[in-house]
Amino acid sequence: MISVKKENKELLFTLSTYESSYQMKADRYGVLLHLFYGERLNEGDDLSRLIFRTDMGFSGNPACAGTDRAYSLDTLPQEVSGFGAGDFRDSMVELLHEDGSRAAEFYFDSYEIMDGSYKVDGMPALYDTSATKGETLVITMREAASDVELKLCYGVYEKENVITRAAKLINKGKKRVSVQKLLSMNLDMMFFDADMIYFTGRHAFEREPERVPVRHAKTEIKSVRGMSSHQYNPAFILCEKKADEDSGKCYGFCLAYSGNFAASAQRDQKNQTRVQMGINPDGFCYLLGKDEELMTPQVIMSFSKDGLTKLSQQYHDIIRENMCRGKYKHEKRPVLINNWEATYFDFDGQKLLNIAEQAAELGIEMLVLDDGWFGKRDDDNSGLGDWFVNEKKLGGNLQDIGGRINDMGMKFGLWFEPEMISEDSGLYRAHPDWALAIPDREPNRARNQLALDMSRTDVRDYLFERMSAILSSAPIAYVKWDLNRSICDMYSHASKPEHSGELYHKYVLGVYDLLERLLARFPELMLEGCSGGGGRFDAGMLYYSPQIWCSDNTDAINRLTIQYGTSFFYPISSVGSHVSACPNHQTGRSVPLKTRADVAMSGSFGYELDLGKLTDEEKLQVKEQIAQFHDLYELTHEGDYYRLAAPKEGVMAWAFAAKDKRRAFLTLVRLEAEGNPLPVHVFMKGLDKDKSYRCMLKNDTSVINSGAAFMSGGITIPWTMGQYESVVMVFEEVNHGSFA
Ligand code: GLA
């Protein structure tokens, strides 16, 4: 609900969802103050009374305030902060004007309320469905001196407890303006002694949560890698110090963007917390001529008064329903076998068909042919860009191979790394200027490859033509879209030097454009995002690919931490997760096959190993695992997710419950080994306390108890669990009445 109350010269804006409110005021001077974000307010509540004003030394006063020395942009909580005009904290907007001055001072101009979600130009954004329709408030702010407009967009999703923000600059003036910084949001929270939880990592170990207090020194996460990155995920949480999974106020901020981003929280001199998120200003500079505009990506914000689990569930629901698109948004995803860890580059057509044959026998539903099927590509030093099938290596074309795989009752999928180019490739020899490299400098090479200039339409046209030709030449149901290096050496042969600061952003817009074109041409296609695993695991990519390869690390025990971190924002259905061989190729660790599957099936499930090396007994297990995955699919892909124990607690456990709470299951993995072992105990969550459930234990024995008993008494595992052993327990409602 969006309400606007006018009093004298002031406008009070209140955005309310089912359990949260967000309040702002355009005050008598036209400054847009942030008043409140938190638990839902009642009608008529006006929290501008919270603002405490004094004449603070070294915090000057804007001209509009006349002689009021207690009115300072440096101390007021604001929705927009401009650089160079008296707010000395970090700014949301920085403009460089033609006369060399740098000032951005935006005052309220007008507002508009619209039915439905707003769109973000050329970028992903939450969209409406028949079940969920957003409401939009656009507040237009103006810089009088330059005649630059700033439109602040707010989306309100009532039952989802979600509010979004984005901003758009429009240069209505006659002169050019250089935008040095334009974030998606600035939020000044007046009284909030918060912790910040962000997700950090590295290639093959992504999204490990870190929780730190918000202090006066800024805590910032960011990427300049041209992608959201393995190192920091573009999402973070602010929460009360006492907040845990089940209690405490928590706020989430999640950027629907796949490129350079920055997000920070910092206390100011009045102990207010300034929160910011958007495109990273490092290396960014965007020229706007008359009537040109620039829009920011969208921040998805959500509030929970009841802890982190609820916050995560709100994100899972909205991303799954209103960000992910396409046929496979709800349609069951096939269980796949990927040949990468089974063969790496060493395969031919026959080897692939053998894998497919064995996979089909086990109930696997799709074979994904990974890297190495095109150009000259027998290792990772050459061939990228040459998207022509290597029929010699395959001993046939993709039509033959795909057809034979289809005949086995399986689908066929294919790997691409569209944004990249090897110097040893036909494409590079024909178009060296298509690669990102600065003239007269040696480019940085990573995995011995360069990135393509995705801002160029000719590059995108080539990729679209090549990918379309391949996808229409064979029965290809799935594409794994990879990106295997951080991007630098930003220079485009196709644009003028003064536009060089736009390139990182235009690269991302180019990627989105190509993805959009491809999906429009092949609407049935299932895309799995990937960037050396989870280097581009963000809400933006989930608009195109409902699942993303979560990490190149397939060690089930490392995956516990990686998938745990991923679960704070991203739906479990989006987590691409495979059973691989032991000893594990990344860590050398051996983990029981059951545990590997129990961990992987809390995600979009598959296998990535040489099936020929499995014993008969293991093959039987794989068949059972696939049956179990299907049985639990509704819960993992459409249910609510609960973190029961964090990976560092000796035991890692999580659960899923159906929305109607008639069915649930928990998975538990023991991490430690000890002599004279102590009992393994866990509290279940997500059941209806008044319902009665049968919990299936080992060997078909079961116990019936109320939801209340399983949740507050918990469950003791009635046998000794060894290190890395896992258990899955299913809870079925026994009758539909109350337990009593
Ligand atoms: C990346 C991916 C892997 C695999 C290789 C192929 O590292 O994350 O799964 O596809 O590329 O080169």
Q: pLDDT (tens digit, 9 = 90+) per residue, 144-174?
A: 999 999 999 999 999 999 999 999 999 999 9
What's the CA-to-centroid distance between 393 and ligand 1, angstroms? Answer: 19
Taking CA atoms only, the protein residue closest to ligand 1 atom 1 is 532
Q: Does the structure show a pLDDT above 90 at 96?
A: yes
Work out the burial of residue 534: count CB atoms within 10 Å of its CB; fewer than 13 is exposed, 13-18 middle, 19 or more buried: buried
> What are the pLDDT digits (tens) for 202-249?
999 999 999 999 999 999 999 999 999 999 999 999 999 999 999 999
Pocket of ligand 1 (CB under 6 A): 340, 370-371, 380, 415, 482, 484, 530, 532-533, 549, 552
75: left (phi over 0), alpha (psi -120 to 50) or beta: alpha
Q: Does the structure show a pLDDT above 60 at 731?
A: yes
CA distance 147 to 103: 12
The DSSP secondary-structure symbol of 553 reads -
What's the CA-to-centroid distance between 427 and ligand 1, angstroms? Answer: 21
Q: Does the structure show a pLDDT above 70 at 34?
A: yes
% of residues, the chain, pLDDT over 70 = 99
Give pLDDT, residue 736: 58
What's the CA-to-centroid distance between 585 and ligand 1, angstroms? Answer: 13
Q: DSSP of 171-199, one letter per residue? A: E-SSS-EEEEEEEEEEEEESS--EEEEEE
Taking CA atoms only, the protein residue closest to ligand 1 atom 7 is 532
Q: Does the structure show a pLDDT above 90 at 16?
A: yes
Q: What's the whole-number mean pLDDT along residues 481-488?
A: 98
- For the CA of 370, the closest atom of ligand 1 is 10
Query: Would the pTM of this model clear 0.85, i.e. be above it?
Result: yes
Q: Does the structure show a pLDDT above 50 at 8?
A: yes
Of residues 563, 584, 579, 555, the one with CA closest to residue 628: 579
CA distance 564 to 562: 5
Q: Does the structure show a pLDDT above 90 at 698?
A: no
- Identity at 56, one-letter amino acid code: M
> What are the pLDDT digits (tens) for 238-289?
999 999 999 999 999 999 999 999 999 999 999 999 999 999 999 999 999 9
Residue 26's DSSP bridge partners are 11, 32
DSSP SS3 for 413: strand
Give the residue, out of 484, 531, 559, with the most ligand 1 atoms within 8 A of its beta carbon, to mutate for a pocket test. Answer: 484
Q: Does the structure show a pLDDT above 60 at 666?
A: yes
Q: Does the structure show a pLDDT above 50 at 679?
A: yes
Give pLDDT, residue 155: 98
% of residues, the chain, pLDDT over 90 = 97
Give the residue, out of 414, 415, 481, 551, with the most ligand 1 atoms within 8 A of its beta carbon, to mutate for a pocket test. Answer: 415
Mean of all residue pLDDT scores within the chain: 97
Work out the burial of residue 697: count CB atoms within 10 Å of its CB; fewer than 13 is exposed, 13-18 middle, 19 or more buried: middle
The C-alpha angle with vertex 496 and arms to 99 and 487, in degrees rounded to 5, equals 110
395: left (phi over 0), alpha (psi -120 to 50) or beta: left
Number of alpha carbons in the 13 Å side-chain half-sphere of residue 206:
30
CA distance 601 to 696: 18
Taking CA atoms only, the protein residue closest to ligand 1 atom 6 is 371
CA distance 344 to 354: 15
What's the CA-to-centroid distance between 479 and ligand 1, angstroms? Answer: 13
Q: Does the structure show a pLDDT above 80 at 20?
A: yes
Give pLDDT, residue 649: 75
What's the CA-to-centroid distance between 514 and ligand 1, angstroms? Answer: 20
Q: DSSP of 289-323, one letter per residue? A: -TT-EEEPPEEEEEEESB-HHHHHHHHHHHHHHHT
What's the CA-to-centroid distance between 663 and ligand 1, angstroms? Answer: 36
> What are the pLDDT digits (tens) for 356-400?
999 999 999 999 999 999 999 999 999 999 999 999 999 999 999
> What are the pLDDT digits (tens) for 538-597?
999 999 999 999 999 999 999 999 999 999 999 999 999 999 999 999 999 999 999 999
- For the CA of 608, the closest atom of ligand 1 is 9
Q: Does the structure show a pLDDT above 50 at 740?
A: no
Helices (H), 247-371: 308-322, 340-343, 349-362
Q: What's the whole-number mean pLDDT along residues 185-198?
A: 97
Residue numbers annotated as active site: 538, 618
Q: Which residues contact 289 (CB under 8 A, 6 or more apart)?
A: 171, 176
CA distance 505 to 169: 15
Phi/psi of residue 160, nearest 5 degrees: -85, -10
Burial 278-288 (b: 16+ CB within 10 A, else e): bbbbeebbbbb
> What are the pLDDT digits (tens) for 280-331?
999 999 999 999 999 999 999 999 999 999 999 999 999 999 999 999 999 9
Burial 81-120 (b: 16+ CB within 10 A, else e): bbbbbbbbbbbbbbbbbeeeeebbbbbbbebeeeeebbbb
Taking CA atoms only, the protein residue closest to ligand 1 atom 2 is 532
Taking CA atoms only, the protein residue closest to ligand 1 atom 8 is 532
